Homo-oligomer: A and B are copies of this chain.
Amino acid sequence: MESTHRELKERAWAANLEIPRRGLAIATFGNASAFDAAAGLLAIKPSGVAYESLRPADMVVLDLDGTVVEGALRPSSDTRTHLVLYRALRGLGGIVHTHSTHATGWAQACRAIPILGTTHADHLAEDVPCTALMTEAAAGRDYETETGNQILELFRTRHPLHTPMVLVAGHGPFTWGESVEQAVYHAQVLEEVARMAFITHTLNPGAARLPEHLVRKHFERKHGAAAYYGQR
């Protein structure tokens, strides 16, 4: 039988392959999902399958309640975190979770990545936020759902497409975007921003944030109403 979700699965599959290709995780670490808002369905990587043997047909399709609609394999163990985010945050077309080295280094330090330069400000206008460490009570409930809830806590007062990335304390990064391709791009940007901030912080632990007028200028060059970056 032909899949009715072929394009969604192919895009999710291609995005998952980009994770090791861009050096954002080793082994089976990390996962990407693509979301079709109209259909209310997502396609996600199966759990614990090595990137090199992954095929489009291995992707698991679920609805927002987590019911498997298509696919023979068990979905990623982080699926419930993806579900929480898709249900609560408007406009997401894809989510990527990696264990990329420098972003994880900051997450393990339980520190937001300070906005130190324009590479960062071109993509978000504030520090990359970092959740609190999950409490024992929360970890005793549904762990992956609670991971999503901790992220949502930070997005009560934030626009998810203006801050398309977050660190989960003691764990690693989640990024997203209007499409899964953009979510992968944000995962790569985050790792590079984390690496640059590591270098700056090591050179000068007291390095100041980029002044607000430069943050605004760069963010609006790419994202404001008067954006003039790119070919639009």
Chain A residues in the interface with B (C-beta under 8 A):
26-27, 29, 46-49, 73-74, 77, 99, 101-102, 104-111, 116-119, 133-134, 136, 139-140, 143, 170-172, 185, 188-189, 192, 195-204, 207-208, 210-211, 213-214, 217, 221, 228-231
Contacts of A229 in B (CB 8 A): 47-48, 77
Contacts of A203 in B (CB 8 A): 105-106, 109, 111, 198, 201-202
Complex CA distance for A65 and B230, rounded to whole angstroms: 21
The 4 nearest A-B residue pairs measured at CB: A105-B199, A48-B230, A108-B117, A108-B200
Complex CA distance for A169 and B199, rounded to whole angstroms: 15
**CB < 8 Å: which of B104, B136, B185 contacts A211?**
B136
Q: Are A118 and B171 in contact (CB under 8 A)?
A: yes
Contacts of A73 in B (CB 8 A): 231
Complex CA distance for A49 and B229, rounded to whole angstroms: 10
Contacts of A201 in B (CB 8 A): 203
Q: In whole Å, how far is A132's beta carbon from the nearest beta carbon of chain B?
A: 11
Q: What would 5 A/B residue contacts be, using CB atoms closer than 8 Å?
A: A47-B228, A77-B221, A109-B207, A110-B208, A117-B171
Q: Are A48 and B231 in contact (CB under 8 A)?
A: yes
Contacts of A189 in B (CB 8 A): 26-27
